Structure 1
């Protein structure tokens, strides 16, 4: 394993994770630190940050997927970007273990570490889920789902088999939180529109099923707006099953705890997240939920030089009182990052630290084109006004001026022109022609007849057989 120590004499700040916390912390450090004060290194398995609130609109085709990602090397020219998977953190030695996508594993030493690994899907041991399910946290998943659901319409249109058509036109989502409801509603809205392009498919042929273990959906917007969202989705023909669990989905045969059974080619899993399991390989202190134990200053409790924020950190919520922690949301992550960066700078300069304190403002959610719901600081909106608030709020949060302009141009095009409903399913099979149409090696020639004289074979450079 290659060890990369700091050779310039400057303290090294290693940021593990290039998401909300990682990128915004690095941006702040880039702005606050002098070039001779510290070296900043960002490690992530991807070389870009994804603005996750726009994933549903990217899946629905309202926003170009490239416009919701931000290249880390472009926005962080003063930082060193390392692309690879973090496999371990040894804070006792102050090293991070990294496995690049190709080549030998490396170790990076550090003076300060920012753990911003975020969360991963909380996948339960449900039969068939690992084989059939797909999440909705990455831009790759959003692109795949868009192509996949349109492919299902193409499949149904081209078939006369009623069972195959029924299976293709059934879509199952598990999880009724913010991510699940937005993905469910945006894709349902897109597919409903797309049916007008097909001769044999009508909106009544579609079956959209959302399964939620709790007794309500979208808790982020409060009970009243959650009930309105539930009624709105049901009025669109969707089946919303509350207090229901997914028991099995082996080979696409879904079995629910209420006895419902059906076949589908689409199972989307958005039923919660958990702290990145890489934390379990570290020697940093964790709480009972596997998150970093952090102070209000965003320092890891009892670990000098270690900092944490975002979904992987248990940060006290000072606005709620003792024993309460900040929720795992982008709203907290983007606000924790600058406080964390300022506290690292203050530590390097021997200055006092600041505490993180932010009262949760509420939430906004898009439910399809010109449809939404919002509850922000007690102001409750639904329908078109909420949809506008959703767009205005997130436009203010999209990183970089270029991405803001590109997203607005995407929205303007969506208002001026009809939806562009096309599947690029071949993106998942880019080498199909090479595999199917490449010439096969010829079979070995039949052995010579016994009555023919044996030919002498001469081998060597430039000589062919039988020469």
Structure 2
């Protein structure tokens, strides 16, 4: 049984089904019926890609895997059973012979006053859809008001966290809101929408190569993004954001991209962990539990290329760990031999919107249109489905004006920042479901 269908879980299920060839029952427990290609979520929020383009059907691409819709909330390691809640709030349990935990991560919430009430994260599809509607609505309301202060506040967007996600959200967001403003008769000749990108680090993309950081910084500043490093939020209110330097930014939009933390299910297991991530050995096996494996963001996997460290929380590692976990599960059942996880990163790519990107494939730094083409080519290769549809949307976006309409699909209260399930939207009756 595999719990979670993110990058690690999906590729584990896919590899294991190919190895088993029908000789074993493979069960995948996940709240949703699709694998979400998270790296392209900023393009969904910016109206470039439709939501289904980055949502790959689990049953359609994993025909030999039994999908069970549900959110795991308890694991009885001794009885080898997983308890879960399905989308209709019904309780269920599943038994297993081998368990692979790939529950991923959720938004990291810092103890900053007002943030939980007034900020929104960017981890799942509901949050991306909410942000697209929110940006569209704020620009329309800015054009409708005669109050200059209100117009400025509604046209100001604050992104906290200049890592991979925050940088891409700001890069795509500034292009999207400016396109909307150009279409609005009352905003066309006024000040352009204002975007701020804040981080306590001394540069953008602090975890990546400095050359990528410099490229992203140059592109964002050229677009007018107010990049403020060494800056954090002291308090968030309904009217704006108070910074730690004493400044106040009037805004109705606070986008929280400060990082992630392992899914809370990990802490409930009572097993050794490292900064919230489940400790495993180089074979992705939980010590003392030969039937339990873990990988992806939920696991502290030893990095054999950097002794003494664990692998970072990236899709690149999660995808490859999922495949290795599948082979080691098969080996534990007598098919093949176990292998240790070892991977030298192949570089990173940051989509900066338009034709711009910052990339270092095989650690060769490139930027501009070439990097943009390489980045999109990489995403098409990495996606397990929907490649033609994604490419078609990119082509249409390059020749047609952006469609800026708010569909009202996700309400603010449906995507609270402190949720333990960012992949699903909260419903009025207190349950959860897809957006």
TM-score, scaled to structure 2 = 0.91
Secondary structure at the counterpart of residue 348 of structure 2: strand
Secondary structure at the counterpart of residue 145 of structure 2: coil
8 A contact 1:91–1:284 mirrored in 2:
no
Measured in 1, the distance between the counterparts of 2:410 and 2:265 equals 30
Give the alignment partner of residue 339 of structure 2, picking from 344, 350, 354: 354
Correspondence for 1:212: 199
Give the alignment partner of residue 270 of structure 1, picking from 252, 257, 282: 257
Pairs aligned (count): 411
Instruction: Give structure 1 stretches of 5+ with no counterpart.
Output: 1-13, 430-467
Correspondence for 2:140: 154
Measured in 2, the distance between the counterparts of 1:301 and 1:189 equals 48
Is 1:250 the counterpart of 2:250? The answer is no
Moved more, 202-211 or 409-418: 202-211
Give the alignment partner of residue 79 of structure 2, picking from 80, 90, 93: 93
**CA distances 1:22-52 after superposition (whole Å, capped 9, x unpaired):** 11111111111032x3211111111211000
Is 1:284 the counterpart of 2:271? The answer is yes
Correspondence for 1:439: none
Matches within 5 A, 1:246-395: 246-287=233-274, 289-320=275-306, 322-349=307-334, 351-395=336-380
Is 1:135 the counterpart of 2:140? The answer is no
Shift of 1:417: 1.7
Matches within 5 A, 1:65-214: 65-202=51-188, 204-214=191-201
Measured in 2, the distance between the counterparts of 1:354 and 1:138 equals 32
Is 1:421 the counterpart of 2:404? The answer is yes
Measured in 2, the distance between the counterparts of 1:77 and 1:252 equals 50
8 A contact 1:94–1:109 mirrored in 2:
yes
Measured in 1, the distance between the counterparts of 2:89 and 2:51 equals 30
Secondary structure at the counterpart of residue 320 of structure 2: helix
Correspondence for 1:64: 50
Shift of 1:422: 2.2
**CA distances 1:55-81 after superposition (whole Å, capped 9, x unpaired):** 011111221111100121222222221
Measured in 1, the distance between the counterparts of 2:268 and 2:239 equals 34
8 A contact 2:129–2:409 mirrored in 1:
no
**CA distances 1:251-283 after superposition (whole Å, capped 9, x unpaired):** 242101111102211111010111111111113
Secondary structure at the counterpart of residue 108 of structure 1: strand
- Any runs of at least 4 consecutive aligned residues in structure 1 with deviations exceeding 6 A, and if so which? none
8 A contact 1:132–1:252 mirrored in 2:
no
8 A contact 2:157–2:194 mirrored in 1:
yes
Measured in 2, the distance between the counterparts of 1:317 and 1:339 equals 14
Measured in 2, the distance between the counterparts of 1:46 and 1:367 equals 29
Measured in 1, the distance between the counterparts of 2:141 and 2:210 equals 39
Larger radius of gyration: 1
The structure with higher relative contact order (CA 8 Å, sep 6+) is: 2
Correspondence for 2:13: 26
- RMSD of aligned alpha carbons: 1.6
Shift of 1:230: 1.4
Moved more, 226-235 or 17-26: 226-235
